[in-house]
Structures are given as structure tokens and as C-alpha cells.
Structure 1
Amino acid sequence: MTVARTVELEGHIIDSGTMGMCFGVVMDMGGEFEVEEFEVGRHKHAETYCRMRVMAETEEELRAILHELNQQGATVADPRDATLEAAPEDGVVPVEFYSTTNHPTYVRVDGEYVEVEDVEMDCALIVERAGPEYPQEVGDGDDADDGESDDGTRVYTKVLNAVEEGDLVVTGETGIRVEPPERPRNGGGSFGFMQGGVSSERPSASLIEEIANEMREVRENDGNVLVVCGPAIVHSGGRNALADIVRAGYIDGLSAGNGFAVHDLERDLYGTSLGVDTESLEHPRKGHKHHIYTISEIARLGGIEAAVDDGIIDEGVMYECIENEVPYVLAGSIRDDGPLPDTITDSLEAQDAIREQAQEADLVLMLSTLLHSVAVGNCLPSTTKTVCVDINPATVTQLLDRGSAQAIGMVTDIGTFIPMLRDELLE
């Protein structure tokens, strides 16, 4: 005996590969499918529709298949409202809670699809209803137009540790629609190139020109550019160029670890980065202690802003952030020396600060930092344009593998990339 459900796919599902991936999911997970209806879009902007019946041996196997199909953008036909269940206690979600993707998502509540706010991967979906009390489980409802609920109902994401007892959590796959980004319908326009994964053989100059054009467009539209920085920016000689970009007003937020800020400040105070003169490559006497001396001096002054106000720090990326009122988040780790007074040492508090930055960003530049790039990438919706630059292709590959499939990867020396970007922007 088999169990079955019917699902629907709609959009540019052939050339974006969505249809093939869905067929593969069913087969790989031991199920079967039968295409009941198939209408191919006949011209460039026409959408394709596919309706198929999915079969499995057990309900459990079918639920697992439907979950994976949902992640690819398939929607269960004959829609019903999402099932809601109250969280039993703080930090605990129901067993069958829906774990989010980073794609635009809609949840059907009282017959109406409500767009999820602040989409982020690996979170729970919380429904906040306006009006009288409702039962915890939602029943069937009539079809309704897409968009926000007319009665003020909200659906938003919460990380598991932030879930509170009594929160209405979406469970199962019913009543959830996911819309993965599709391949652009033309090859032109800003970031039309963001389709090729990772390569060290792309023409860097043309890609940097595209990135610069996008940064200009974001600024002209009062958007937000977030830069994610690793210490290699300072080691490789890209620090001054990045400082120029911040001073010119192209950066609206900076996210980094304690190490980046320390090396940037050390370069100003001692002319070294991790004890090495970045211009002569010489190792000054006691240079290996410069980073810890830097932390001590900044702590003595009361923080980075105080050091700038006192004239002790008068150049570099952190200096330009202070002078140009660019907000920054320095997230600490267990490896940090010191750390600086400005560094957030509580990891959950740091996550929340990064999450707030990520939700405001329209464009993110991830510059030579694996762990921080993955951390920020986990907070980004798939619609946020993202560029990851590193000399090591594994950094970019890991970011893509962790779910930030919208990111374009540039494999190049960060000390070359940032000055080229600076020149493109300022010329």
C-alpha cells in the first residue's frame, strides 16, 4: 500500500533546473512520481507549470520527500492552512517544527498567505495573530490573495534559543510556500553574472567593475552595503584602500572579528600587522607583542572611539568607521587575545547584532574570512546580493555549501582586489 500527495511547480522551472532537482529528490529518496499536467512556457518570459503526484511506501517517507520538495519551491496542491503548535517552554520547539530556508517564504493562515518577515535559514516560524484567541491548531480555510494578512497577522523567524513558551510555531509542511530565486531571464544588468559558482579564471577587472556599479546603485537608492572583514586585509596591504572606500561613503556597516580590528589598530600604532611591517616585511624587535600592546592601549583609553577622539588613532578602517559614523560589530571568539573593549564576547549577543546588520543589507562583500563569512551568510536571505572574495577557493565553496547559494565567489588575492575596487569606485 502506498500513500500519495499532489504537488505543483510553477515558474521558470526548466532552465533554472528546479524541475529536474525535484524529480531527482523523489527518486533519490525512494519515492515515485507521476506527472499529471505539464505546460511549458513558450517564450522567454512565460512560466512553466508542472503538477505531479508523489508516492511513497509510508506516511513518514512521504513527509520527508515533501519536505525536500518544499525546499526546492514545490507547493502541495489543495492547500490547507499551516498547522500551528504552541512552544512547550522557553527555548523548546514542537517536535515537527518547520525549519526554514533562506528563500522568500509564505505561510497560509486563515485562508491567506502571509509573507514571512526577516527570512533566515535554520529558524522556526512564529505566527503572531491579531484579534481574539484562536485554537493552537489551524484548520482549513478558503483561498486568498498573496500578501500580508488584512487582519494584522504576522509570521516571522526566530532562532531556537529565542523561542518563548506559548509562541505559535509552524509545524509540518502544510500551508508553506517557498520561492527559491530563479536564474535571471537575461544576461545583462547588475549582477547578471551571479550565476557561475566559483572560479579563479574569471576576468577580475570586469567583475570588479560590476561590483562597483552595484555599490553605486545601492548608494544612489539609499540602500545598505555591509562589508565582512578578515585580518588578511591588513596583512596583504588592502587596509588603506578599504579605508578610502569607507571614507567615500560606499560602506554602511562593518562586521568583523576581534582580530581584524586589532591588526588595523596595530598598523596605525606600530606600523605592523601581527608584528610584521606590511611594507618592508621586516620583524621589528618585540614586534610579536605589538598586537597585545595594542589591545592594552585601546583598553586603557576606553575603547576605539575614545582612542580616535584622543587623536591616538588617526588612520585606518576603524578610524574611518568612527569618523564617518559607520556602525560596526566585532564578534569575539574563543581564540581572541584581550579582547578589545568593543568586542562582543557573548556569542548569542554577537549573533543578534550580526543578524540585525544582515537584515538591513542590500549588498554584502565578504573579504577573506571563512568563519565570519559563513556566520553572516547564515543570517542572509537568498535575495541579498553577496560577493565572497578569498585567495582560497575552499572558503567560497564552503559558503555556498552552507546554503548561501546566491553568493558569487572570486578567487583572488584580497590585497589586489580591494585597491582595484577602490580605484573603480573613486575614479
Structure 2
Amino acid sequence: MTVSRVVELEGHIIDSGTMQSCFGLIMDLGGSFTVEAFDIGRRKEEESYARLLVEADDEDALQTIVHELHQIGANPADPKDATFEPAPADKVVPHGFYSTTNHPTDIRYEGEWLTVDDIEMDCAVVVEDGDRSPTGDPRAYTKVLNAVEAGDLIVTGDTGIRVRPPDRPRDTGGAFGFMKGGVSSERPSESTIRKVATAIEETKNEGGTVLAVCGPALVHSGAREDLARLVREGYVDMLSAGNGFAVHDIERDLYGTSLGMDTETLDHPRHGHKHHIYAISEVIREGSIEAAVESGTIESGVMYECVEHDRPFVLAGSIRDDGPLPDTITDAVEAQNAIREQAHEADMVLLLSTLLHSVAVGNCLPSTARVVCVDINPATVTQLLDRGSAQAVGMVTDIGTFVPILADELIDGE
């Protein structure tokens, strides 16, 4: 005897490959399906609809299939209210809690759909009734596990949950038409960079916020001055980096080197290997990067422009940091929360030559954020996509080439 459930798919389910993915997933997990209804969009801007009867040998197998379908946007045809259980203790979630994707998500509560605020992957969903909500209306929002408090009403199971992956229509027009995901070193660099520049301009024209996530290689490669220009001219609104990026940016200002090397002549000055620790010492003496800028100790660079033009930055520390700088957040949970706050504000994100920070920020981003990842190593972008940031487009190129061309397109091309 088999058990069954009806699920629905809506949107650009043919162009995006979602329907094909659902068929393959059902069969791979040992189930079967019948297409009960299929309404095909006849024009490229029209959406399609499909209703599938999914069958399996037993309830456990069916639940596994429905859960996996749910992750890619197939939702039950007969929605019921979500199920909830209170958290038994701080940082402890109920068994079977719902773990989020990074797609826009709704929770059905008392017959109404609530949009989940601050959506990101691998979180719990907390629901508050009108009495507990600051607005007086019920609301749903995400919490990372270490932020869960005893008594929080946590969504469990898969019932009453609707996931809405971003549409990927056939039309590739517009500034973001090229952003279809994937990694390539074959694309014409200048042409693609021009499209990235157009995408940044569109984001800014829409009143959006651009976040740059940067690694030390950006300074080593000689792209520091051009990124500083983008910060100064307002094309980069926020910065997320590690201690190393800021150290070498400041080292370049104070001593003309990055990790002891002159980035223009490629010479290694005498005692250049000590420059980065000297730079850290100077900032510690001042008390902060901002204080060092205000005193005139730091006179140029990315961190200088962030201070001068009030662009917020987060420096997240690691176990291997020298110093670190006074502004570097050394508490891992505190740093993660600061990164998360930035990520939730960002409409477009540039991940520039930093694997660890790219993955960290990418994990906090909703799938609706526009993401461009640039690295000389294709594995960086591949890992980002493998961890769920399927909305990212990757360029495999030298960061020292990408940033100057981008700055020229945005600033000199006006």
C-alpha cells in the first residue's frame, strides 16, 4: 500500500529547471509521481503551474521526499497551519525543528501567511503572536541556534511552510540578466565587468546598498587604490573583511608595502617583513583606526576612506591574526552577528578574493541578494555555490585586474 501527497509548483519552473529537478528527486528517493495539472506559460514573461501527486511506499519515505521537494520550492497543495513547540532552554531547539533555506519563506499561522523576516539558511524560525510582537501583529523571523531563548515558539516539521525560490525567467535582459549563477573563466572579462558595473549602478539608483567583502590579496595585487576610489565615490556602502585586509591596507599607507613587498616595484625593502606588525602597533597606539585617521597617522587607503566617508566596516578576527587591530572583533559569535547585520542590509554583494569571508557572508545572505564572487581560484566560487548561494555569479580572474577596470567603468566612464 502506498501513501501520497499533492504538491504544487509555481513560477518559471521550466526555464529554471525546477520541474526537472523535482522529477529527478522523486525518482532518486524511490518515489513516483503523476502530473495532475500542468499550465504552461506561453510567453517568456508568463509563469507556469504544475500539480503533482507524489507517492511512496511508506510515510517516512514520503516525508523525506516532500521535505526535499520543499527545499526547492514545491509546496503542499492543502496548506495547514505550521506546527510549533517552545524552546526547552536557551540555545536548545525542539527535536524536528524546521531548518531554513536562504529563499523567501512564509509560515502559516492561524490561517494567514506570515513572511519570515531576515531569512538566511540554517536557522530556526521563531513565531510571536500579537501580544508579544512589538508591532501588535503576529510575526515570524529567523534566529541562529545560539540566539534561541527558552520559551521561543519554534516552527517544527514541514507543515504550513511555503518556500519561494527567486524566479529565473527566460528573459536575460536588464542589468542583472547575466547573473544566472555558475563559474567561468571563459567569459570576456571586460564585457562581464562592464555588466557588473551596470548592476552596481542599478542597485544604487534603486536606493540599494552595496557590500564589499575583501581579502588581503586585493591589497597585495595593487587594487587597493581603486577600491578606495569606489568607497570614496559611494559605489561601496559597507565593508566586511578580516584583520589581515585592514592591516595590509594600513601598512601600504604607512610604509608603501603589503606584507613587506612594494606593490608597485615588487621590491622587498629591508625589514619589510616587519612592516605589518609595525602598522598594527601604530594603530594600537592611537586606539583605533578612526583615531589614527583623525590624527593624520593614516592618510590614504580603503580604511581611510571608510572613516572619512562614514562607510561602516566589520573586521572579523581569526585564530591566526597578528595583533590584532583594536577594531577587529575577536569574539567569533559577536563577529558573526556583526557580519549577519551587514548581510541583511545588503542588496548587492561583491565577494573579492577571500574564500573564508565569502562563505561566511554568503551563508547569511538571502537568495534575493545579487552576488558577484571574484577570485583567481575557481574553487572559491564553486564552494560558495555548493554551500547554497546559487544566486552568485563567479568570475575567475585576477582581482588586481577586476577592481581597477570596475572602478574605471563606474567612475571614469560616467
TM tier, shorter chain? over 0.9
**For 1:365-376, what aligned pairs fall within 5 Å after superposition?**
365-376=350-361
**For 1:90-239, what aligned pairs fall within 5 Å after superposition?**
90-131=90-131, 152-239=137-224
Deviation at 1:132, TM superposition (A): 8.9
Equivalent position SS for 1:55: strand
Deviation at 1:220, TM superposition (A): 2.6
Spell out structure 1 runs of 4+ moving beyond 4 A. none
Equivalent position SS for 2:364: coil
Which residue pairs with 1:301 in the alignment?
A: 286
Deviations 1:26-66 (A, max 9, x none): 11112222222222222223322211111222222221111
Which residue pairs with 1:142 in the alignment?
A: none
Could you tell me how far apart the structure 2 residues matched to 1:245 and 1:158 are? Answer: 33
Could you tell me how far apart the structure 1 residues matched to 2:325 and 2:143 are? Answer: 30
Deviation at 1:297, TM superposition (A): 1.2
Gap runs ≥5 in structure 2: none
Could you tell me how far apart the structure 2 residues matched to 1:132 and 1:294 are? Answer: 49
One-letter code aligned to 2:67: H
Equivalent position SS for 1:265: helix
Asked if structure 1 preserves the Cα contact closer than 8 Å seen for 2:15 and 2:170, the reply is no
Deviation at 1:182, TM superposition (A): 2.0
Which residue pairs with 1:325 in the alignment?
A: 310
One-letter code aligned to 1:401: D
Could you tell me how far apart the structure 2 residues matched to 1:93 and 1:347 are? Answer: 21
Gap runs ≥5 in structure 1: 134-149
One-letter code aligned to 1:277: D
Alignment match of 2:367 (pick from 378, 382, 395): 382
Task: Name the TM-score, length of structure 2 as normaliser.
Answer: 0.97
Asked if structure 1 preserves the Cα contact closer than 8 Å seen for 2:248 and 2:276, the reply is yes
Asked if structure 2 preserves the Cα contact closer than 8 Å seen for 1:44 and 1:185, the reply is yes
**For 1:326-345, what aligned pairs fall within 5 Å after superposition?**
326-345=311-330
Deviation at 1:151, TM superposition (A): 6.7
**For 1:277-426, what aligned pairs fall within 5 Å after superposition?**
277-426=262-411
2:236 matches 1:251: yes
Task: Let me know the Cα RMSD of the aligned residues.
Answer: 1.4
Could you tell me how far apart the structure 2 residues matched to 1:45 and 1:273 are? Answer: 50
Equivalent position SS for 1:181: coil
Which residue pairs with 2:18 in the alignment?
A: 18
Could you tell me how far apart the structure 1 residues matched to 2:376 and 2:410 are? Answer: 22
Could you tell me how far apart the structure 1 residues matched to 2:178 and 2:132 are? Answer: 49
Deviation at 1:289, TM superposition (A): 1.3
Which residue pairs with 1:66 in the alignment?
A: 66
Asked if structure 1 preserves the Cα contact closer than 8 Å seen for 2:255 and 2:275, the reply is yes
Could you tell me how far apart the structure 2 residues matched to 1:216 and 1:107 are? Answer: 34
One-letter code aligned to 1:331: A
Deviation at 1:217, TM superposition (A): 2.4
Deviation at 1:196, TM superposition (A): 4.7
Could you tell me how far apart the structure 1 residues matched to 2:155 and 2:253 are? Answer: 51
Equivalent position SS for 1:273: coil
One-letter code aligned to 1:38: F
Shift in alpha-carbon separation, 1:232–1:87, aligned structure 2, 3 A: same
Could you tell me how far apart the structure 2 residues matched to 1:46 and 1:316 are? Answer: 48
Could you tell me how far apart the structure 2 residues matched to 1:244 and 1:10 are? Answer: 43
Task: Name the TM-score, length of structure 1 as normaliser.
Answer: 0.94
One-letter code aligned to 1:21: S
Which residue pairs with 1:86 in the alignment?
A: 86
Equivalent position SS for 1:54: strand
One-letter code aligned to 1:381: P
Deviations 1:265-311 (A, max 9, x none): 01111111111111111111211111111111110111111111111
Shift in alpha-carbon separation, 1:341–1:61, aligned structure 2, 3 A: same
